Structure 1
Amino acid sequence: MMTPLRPGAELTRRAVEGWASAVEAERYDLRLVHTEDKARVETRRPGLEGLLRLLPLLRARNAEGWHVYARPADTSYVLVDDVDEDGLHSMRLAGHRPAAVVVTSPWNYQVWIRLAPSGAGPSHEVAAEVASQLASMHGGDPGAVNSRQLGRLPGFRNRKALHQRSDGSYPTVTLRSSCTEVDPDAQYLLRTAAGVIALRRRYRPQILRVPAPTVPALQARDPVEEYREGIARITAHLPPGMRLDRSRADFAIARRLFARGASSAYVHTVLLQCDKAGELGWPEGLHYVERTVAAAKDAHAAQEADHGGGKPGEREDEEQG
C-alpha cells in the first residue's frame, strides 16, 4: 500500500502537476539557486516523472534557502516576467489566453504564453523577440526576455528577502490559471517577431560597411541603447500630464542622430528598436521606419540649408546681396 503524502507535499505535487499539464513538454529545465550564494547553482533536465520524483529533494532545498526555477525545455512557450494586475488585464483584453499564470508574490505574476504545439516551437531568436514584444506591450520585465528564461515553480516558497513576512515565512508560489491551448494570437506574434528580425537583418550589413571615420563614437553604440536613451531623454522633458507621442519621439530621435552625423543605415537600425515597428509587423513596420527616417533626413537637410549648409558660394552671395 502506497504511503500517503503529507499535506504540504501533496499540495506541492498538485501544483507542479497542474503547471506541467499547462506547459507540457518532454523535458523541463530545472535550476536551483541559493539565496545567499548565487554561485551555488544546481541544474537538471528531467521529464515529468523525473521532476515529480525530485519533489522531496526540491522541497528540502527550498526549505534550506534555495530558489526553485523551471521551464519547459521547448521554444513553444515564452515567459513574460514581473507582470502586475494591470498587465495581466491588458493581456487578456488583447485576446491572449495564457497557458499558465503563476503568482510569485502578492499581485505579481509570471505569464507563460504558448506559441505552438509542444515540440513545434519557433527558433530561439523568434521566441526571444516574441517575449520582448509581449513584455514591452504589457509591462513585463524587459531584462527577462529570452527563449530560455526560467520562472518560479509553483508549490515552492519565493524566498526573496523582500517578500519575507514578519513571522519569518515566505509566500508560496501558486498557479492562478491554466490553459492547454495555443494562444489565439500566436501566429500574429510569430509573424511580427519574424518581420522585426528581418528588418534588423536588412540594415545590419550596411552598418558594417560604413567607414570608421563617420562618427566613430556614435557607430560603436548599441542601437538598442541608443534608442532607449533617446526615449528617456524625450520623456524627461515632457510637460507634466503630457503623454509621449511615439511617432513624434521616433522622428525626433532620427533627426537628432542625423544632426550628430549618423548614417542613414545606422538611423534605420536604431529606429527598428521602436515599439511601433513591432506593433505594425511586416512589412508595415519597415515602411513606417523608412518614412520616419526619410522625413527626418529631409528636415535635417532643410535646416542645414537654412543655416548655410548649401554650396560655399551660395551663402556668400546671399550675404553680399
Structure 2
Amino acid sequence: MIVETSPENFQVWVHSSRALSLEEKRMWLERMRSDPAAHPKNRWGRCPGFRNTKEKHRSPTGRFPLARLIWIDWDSQADIPLLVPESKPSLLSHPSRRGSVCHPADPCRYHFKKDNESTTDFAYALSLARRGFSDDQIRQRILSERTDWSNHKGEKESKTTSIAPSVVSNR
C-alpha cells in the first residue's frame, strides 16, 4: 500500500508472506535508506483519509491536506528474503565500571580538547583513569602532552590527577 501523507511525501507498507522480527525490519529500513525516524516498532503511519496537521501544510483556506491512498494490493504478499544479522560480539555480563569498552588503544590529550586547558586536563585524566592508569601515569601524560602552561604548573595537575580516579570509581 502507498499513501501520500502530505504533498510529495509517501509512506509504503509491504505485506510480507512471513513475519519479520524487529531487528530484520530495522535492517531492511537501513538497507533501503529509509527515513531514520521510520521505526518499525509500534508505528502505524498515517492512514488514508486522515489529515496531516503540520502547520506548514495548511492551505490558504485554513484546511489541512488529507492523506491520500495512491495504490493498494489486497491479494499479493511479498516474499522477502531472510536477512541474517551480522554477528555481533558477545556482550559482557555486566558493564565495565571503568567506562565503555570501545576506546581508542592509546588516547592522546588532543582528543579531549575543551574550552580551556584545565577542562581539557580533567577530561583527559578521567579518560585515563577509566582505562586503569595510575595517578603518576596520568600526571606524567598530562605533563608531557600539555603545551600551554601560561596559567599554572604543578599544583593544578596534582589536584586533577587525584580527583579523576575518585570520580571514576564512584560512578
Q: TM-score by structure 1 length?
A: 0.29
Q: Which residue of 2 aligns with 1:103?
A: 4
CA offset at residue 104 of structure 1? Answer: 0.2
1:97-139 CA-partner distances (Å, limit 9, x unpaired) = xxx01100111111101222xxx624xxx1x223322322333
> Could you say what the CA RMSD is over the residues aligned between the two structures, in angstroms?
2.8
Percent of aligned pairs sharing the same letter: 25
1:196 aligns with 2:78: no
Q: Structure 2: 5+ residue runs without aligned partners?
A: 108-171
The answer for unaligned runs of 5 or more in structure 1 is: 1-99, 222-256, 262-321
Query: Relative to total residues, which structure has the larger helix share, 1 or 2?
Result: 1
Correspondences of 1:107-118 after superposition (within 5 Å)? 107-116=8-17
1:166 to 49, 55, 60: 60
1:216-260 CA deviation, whole Å, 9 max, x = no partner?
3323x8xxxxxxxxxxxxxxxxxxxxxxxxxxxxxxxxxxx5525
How far did residue 208 of structure 1 move? 1.1
Equivalent positions of 1:283-298 (< 5 A) are none
Q: Which residue of 1 aligns with 2:34?
A: 140
Contact 2:24 2:85 in 1 (8 A): no
User: What secondary structure, in the 3-state scheme, does the structure 1 residue paired with 2:64 have?
Assistant: coil
> Whole-Å Cα distance in 2 between the matches of residues 104 and 210 of structure 1?
44
2:19 is matched with which residue? 121
Instruction: Select the residue among 77, 99, 116 that pairs with 1:182.
Output: 77
| Residue-by-residue CA offset, 1:142-192 (whole Å, 9 max, x unaligned) | 2332232111110121112221122211111011111231114x1x1xx21
Q: Tell me the distance in 2 between the aligned counterparts of 1:182 and 1:155.
A: 24
The AA in structure 1 aligned to 2:36 is P
Task: Report runs of 4+ in structure 1 exceeding 3 Å deviation.
Answer: none
Q: What is the one-letter code of the residue matched to 1:121?
A: A
Aligned-partner SS, 2:13? strand
Asked if 1 retains the 8 angstrom alpha-carbon contact of 2:2 and 2:13, the reply is: yes
- Number of residue pairs matched by the alignment: 106
Give the secondary-structure state (helix, strand or coil) at the position aligned to 1:259. Answer: coil
Give the residue type in structure 2 aligned to 1:167: T
The CA distance in 2 between the partners of 1:179 and 1:260, in whole Å, is 57
Bigger radius of gyration, 1 or 2?
Answer: 2
Say if 1:196 and 1:156 are closer, same or farther in 2 by CA, change over 3 A: same
**Kindly tell me: are residues 101 and 212 of structure 1, through their superposed partners in 2, closer, same or farther at Cα, counting changes over 3 Å?**
same
